[in-house]
Amino acid sequence: MNKVIAVGLALIFSLAGGVNVMADSNGPEIEKATFAGGCFWCMEPPFDQLKGVISTTSGYAGGDEVSPTYKEVAGGRTGHTEVIQIEYDPAKIDYQKLLDVFWRNIDPTAVDRQFVDVGKQYRSEIFYHNDIQRALALASRDALAESGVFDKPIVTEVTALKDFYKAEEYHQDFYQKNPVRYKFYRYNSGRDAYLKKKWGSR
């Protein structure tokens, strides 16, 4: 990230007194982040392995339908996209790190699709929970566009989160519950081949 942007964001954060969090007197402060990166099965694993991430939940966001089902979302009739919502401890991991992991697990140049999955319901999108997340997301998107990693425009939108609807239970932690099916799907989706080609050992 550009040093001027980074310093500016740090100042914004300090003046704002941090981000709104959920406080639990018996546990750590918790913040939330919500990302759309295509199939939510594939977006849970890279975040679950991060120290400071408490949980990841697959769900739907970005549309107008109330309490949509997977069948409705997959059919492209709701305006929603598949997302994951992350709960994390900001004392152990910050939002910027989550953004870095997000960008390295998607194709941000793809319009209304991610790899083998096609349709607006698989678009990439960052749903911010507050103004600081919005500023960090926009800055990180600008930095990525200027990095030269991609030779096409970055089309990932940055949008305020209105509602999040948890997906059906069988979608939660799918990669752990159904490892063989998950690995077969992921390999054939082309996601890993693309990410390796684009990022390599960077």
User: Is residue 12 in a domain?
Assistant: no
pLDDT band at 11 (very low <50, low <70, confident <90, very high): very low
Which residues are CB-contacts of 135 (< 8 A; sequence separation ≥ 6)? 9, 12
113-159, pLDDT tens digit by residue? 999 999 999 999 999 999 999 999 999 999 999 998 999 999 999 99
Take residue 125 and report the two structure tokens written for it: 């999108």
At residue 16, the pLDDT reads 40
| Distance between CA atoms of residues 62 and 155, nearest Å | 16
User: Is residue 170 in a domain?
Assistant: yes
At residue 17, the pLDDT reads 38
φ, ψ of residue 160 in degrees (nearest 5): -65, 135
Supply the mean pLDDT for the chain. 89
At residue 12, the pLDDT reads 41
User: Is residue 9 in a domain?
Assistant: no
User: How does DSSP classify residue 168?
Assistant: P
CATH of the domain at 100: 3.30.1060.10
User: Is residue 86 in a domain?
Assistant: yes
At residue 118, the pLDDT reads 96
User: Is residue 179 in a domain?
Assistant: yes
Residue at 202: amino acid letter: R
At residue 8, the pLDDT reads 45
User: How does DSSP classify residue 22?
Assistant: B
User: Is residue 167 in a domain?
Assistant: yes
At residue 74, the pLDDT reads 95
| 39 has catalytic annotation | yes
Number of domains in the chain: 1
Task: Report CA 109 to chain centroid distance, whole Å.
Answer: 15
At residue 26, the pLDDT reads 60
- Between strands 164-166 and 157-160, the pairing is unpaired
| Distance between CA atoms of residues 125 and 159, nearest Å | 7
Residue at 132: amino acid letter: I
Out of 39, 84, 101, 126, pick the active-site residue: 39
| Averaged pLDDT for residues 155-177 | 97
Which residues are CB-contacts of 6 (< 8 A; sequence separation ≥ 6)? 139
Has residue 6 got a pLDDT over 50?
Answer: no
User: Is residue 117 in a domain?
Assistant: yes
Range of the domain at 167: 19-199
| Distance between CA atoms of residues 36 and 156, nearest Å | 9
User: Is residue 11 in a domain?
Assistant: no
Has residue 18 got a pLDDT over 80?
Answer: no
Has residue 9 got a pLDDT over 90?
Answer: no
Has residue 21 got a pLDDT over 50?
Answer: no
At residue 57, the pLDDT reads 98
Dump strand ranges (E) for 25-178.
31-37, 53-61, 81-88, 113-114, 117-118, 124-128, 157-160, 164-166
